[in-house]
Amino acid sequence: MSSDLRTMLARLADEPPPVNIDLDRRIAEGRRRVRRRHLLGGLACVVVLGLFGGVVASQAFQTAAGPPSTG
Amino acid sequence: VRASEEEAIRDYAAARMPSLLRSAFLLTGGDWYRAEDVVSTAIVKLYLSWRRASRTQYLDSYVRRILVRTWLDEQRRPWRREHVVDMVPDVGASVDDLERRADLREILAGLPSRQRAVLVLRFYEDLSVDQTAEALGCTPGAVKTLTNRALSAVRRRLPGTLIELEDA
């Protein structure tokens, strides 16, 4: 007896799925992950701007203080 | 993501759920509960990339790619890794259809994950070599090699199985 592989695969998956996915929970999880992503993005911006501001401030301070005395 | 977009995701996922679960069931080698995990993760990923996904011409292909890659990613995790068995018991050609289905399930479960994915995509989803390559993120040549290996395993273990291929 021979059977077609396509038919066999289709029959194998033919039973009604005995599981049910809660779409509301999945969507809520997606929403949480989007928020977390935005939060992390915001934090990264703050860190980069803070570092940049620190460098600029340090250079301004050195310029204002003038050249180091050779005494 | 706006409320209207969430509604669109919900509608799309609800409409495609049985089909996604069936594909995942075959990909996982016949395990509905792992299929549920894979589809759940794929839906979250779809939510995260909905704006890009909804602009594509073929949303179903995009979602199929998410599903297959989610499953392959899961396979790479050490605690989820499946172990390929060396030998699956041979069966004769005279077994009835029910037994052949059980055997096919066993064969699928024993195949390496990418070979199984190729069988499901090409023979269940009816994708071409190029579409399968795109879904798996590999070359068409690799798809042909994987197809040949997977089919050899099926022929060896289920003699008498008809396999029609146009382009492999």
* Prediction ipTM score: 0.74
Distance from CA of A26 to the nearest CA of B (A): 6
The closest CB to that of A21, out of B36, B93, B119, belongs to B36
Mean pLDDT for all residues in chain B: 84
pLDDT band at B2, cuts 50/70/90? confident
For B89-133, write each residue's pLDDT tens digit.
Answer: 444 444 466 676 777 888 888 899 999 999 999 999 999 999 999
C-alpha B153/C-alpha B10 separation (Å) is 39
Query: What is the structure's pLDDT at B89?
Result: 45
List pLDDT tens digits, range B143-160: 999 999 999 988 888 777
Q: What is the rounded end-to-end Cα distance, in angstroms, of chain A?
A: 103
Q: In terms of CA atoms, which chain B residue is nearest residue A13?
A: B22
* Distance of residue A45 Cα from the nearest chain B Cα, in angstroms: 21
Q: Is the pLDDT of residue A1 over 50?
A: no
Q: How far is CA A53 from CA A40, A47, B128, in A?
A: 20, 10, 55
Alpha helix segments (H runs only) across chain B: 3-27, 32-48, 50-55, 59-76, 97-110, 113-119, 129-136, 140-157
Window 23-42 of B, Cβ < 8 Å to A: 23, 25-26, 30, 32-33, 35-36, 39-40
Q: What is the pLDDT of residues B123-137, one digit of tens each?
A: 999 999 999 999 999
